[in-house]
Amino acid sequence: MAEMTPRDMADKLLAAGFQRNGPAATTLSDPIADTPMIVTLDQLRPYDHDPRVKRNPAYEEIKASIRERGLDAPPAITRRPGEEHFIIRNGGNTRLAILRELWTETKQERFFRISCLFRPWPERGEIVALTGHLAENELRGGLTFIERALGVEKAREFYEQEIGGALTQSELARRLTADGYPVQQSHISRMQDAIRYLLPAIPTVLYGGLGRHQVERLAVLRRACERIWEQRALGRHLAVDFASLFQDVLSQFDTQPDGFSLQRVQDELVGQMAELLEADYDTLSLEINDSENRQRVLTSEPSPVSPIAPIVSAAPRLESPPPTMPIAPQAGTPVGPAVEFPPTQTAAAPATGSGQATGEDAVPVPADRNTERLQGHIVSPAPTTERLQSLQRLVADQLGDKLPDFEANALRAIPVQVGGLYPISDVWYIEPGLDVPDRLRVHIAQFACEIAEEAAVGGHIEPIERGIGFVCTAPPVAQAKALTAFARAVLTLLDALSDAPAPATGFDRTRLADDLAPLLHSSGGASMRLSDAGLVKLFRLLRLARRLLDLESGAASANPGHDS
């Protein structure tokens, strides 16, 4: 090949630029990392598989707050590949509906154009989004039983599409728990019964809020009646089958939930069965009640103990403490000053001759004092629901474990109640369902993100499936110079805890020695100190990280309530 002459080289350098042959891009692709962005209501759609069907009971209160204060917590958004509109990622459909109403009413730009955090559509996008909405709705407003049941049924469909086969109830419960929404197999069984047998007949009652216990009683009644029907109808030709009879009878009572009476349903059902089977009503009723009682005994669950004190708005209602003296803390459990507070809410009167106060001598302790002291141990409210607490108690009962009781123990040992995606009522205790590496990493990453949000740098926390669950991403040089001292200190602390190689992250960990004291106890001024809630989340992050590392090293204690 002949060598290029200077003239040939000059001609090539002066030649026209390359021409584009392919089509020009009309839109930008979505970011591949969490990215703050501003979107309009026209660009945003609610999540179409949101399990909530009825309006949020707190709708008007939330609307009043947004009208006065604006959107304090904009929802996270995402977008399915190839779709035009963004959707709510996990929890926020109520806020979106309120923003649309306020924009229609006021035409104020602050309700039309909102700042959101965009998160890329994950590989298991539909499952992640649905379980996220289920968990968020439980924490923020609670779902009716049938809404929860339909959400779990939709999740089953997504799981079966993912694996290409059918799922058992036990496997469905395991997968839901692994994805952050624990549901017992027995609850899934009731949910499927409600969808199959009850929803076609009484949708108004179910969507109106018929509770789990009433659904369970209806399910028990249906099974008991079906069993008796099969026994008595054997060898006979009847004009109707039991499934049709049950649907016809139940549909007569599809009124408002307040007017629904299980006893009336049973009376009507037994009456029509007696007529069709040519049996005595009282005899048939006794047989059904006997079968129903046996079935209820076999499927019953422990009932939670009634609370001992008025409900405190900022703290969840938990079981009352056992009628004993204050419980000594377990070894390795951090405790505060022990405060004896008998569960009967009484204080001893002057001693009698026997050295003990009698029941007649007991002087009631004002409920206000108990409430005031309990409130003094709460850093920030932990949003929860009675249904979710009941679910957690039942899971603990099945595993032979005992959940910490905030109202019973707050005045003895537990110093805080902290809100967030994963509220903390005990820094040390680790639930059995959480005590696996994958779930520990999810919680650790969430706490790191919430701590970073205090300094408005939550977008620099990236969840990962190795290490302790997260890494910190260094901001660009120009952005790093604009960070406050507090933001830099928080990011550096979290980066050091993540145990990522220092040269790879770009954070100057040598400054951490100077920043640590101001962060933890404000020796450098209040502007540098973590909030009380942030400090508790930091303690919880450390506790979970220690447990995670112990599990992966094989040195974990058999009891997650103790450190190894």
| Domains of the chain, start order | 35-198 (3.90.1530.10), 203-298 (no CATH), 437-553 (no CATH)
Question: Is 330 within 8 Å of 562 (Cβ atoms)?
Answer: yes
**Torsion angle of the four alpha carbons 138, 139, 141, 145, in this order, in degrees rounded to the nearest 10:** 20
Distance CA 41, CA 445 (A): 30
- Among 143-152, 310-319, 508-517, name the one with the lowest average pLDDT: 310-319
Distance CA 561, CA 281 (A): 55
Confidence of residue 541 (pLDDT cuts 50, 70, 90): very high
Those residues whose C-beta lies under 8 Å from the C-beta of residue 27, and which sit 6 or more positions away, are none
Q: Which tens digit of pLDDT belongs to each residue from 377-426?
A: 565 666 666 666 676 666 666 666 666 666 666 555 555 667 677 878 77
Question: Is 448 within 8 Å of 470 (Cβ atoms)?
Answer: yes
pTM value > 0.85: no
Question: Is 329 within 8 Å of 335 (Cβ atoms)?
Answer: yes
Please provide residue 225's backbone torsions phi and psi, each rounded to the nearest 5 degrees: -65, -40
**Beta bridge partners of residue 44, listed in sequence order:** 86
Q: Which tens digit of pLDDT belongs to each residue from 232-264?
A: 888 888 888 999 999 999 999 988 777 788 889
| DSSP annotation of 196 | I
Q: Tokens 């496997």, residue?
A: 171
The pLDDT value recorded for residue 368 is 56
Question: Is 158 within 8 Å of 130 (Cβ atoms)?
Answer: yes
Q: 140: helix, coil or strand? A: helix
Distance CA 110, CA 114 (A): 7
268's tokens: 């009507």
Name the E strands within 250-358. 346-347
pLDDT of residue 542 exceeding 90: yes
Distance CA 464, CA 76 (A): 19
Q: Which tens digit of pLDDT belongs to each residue from 481-511?
A: 778 888 888 998 998 898 777 655 567 777 7
Helices (H), ranges, 300-399: 367-375, 386-398
pLDDT of residue 369 exceeding 60: no
Distance CA 168, CA 383 (A): 32
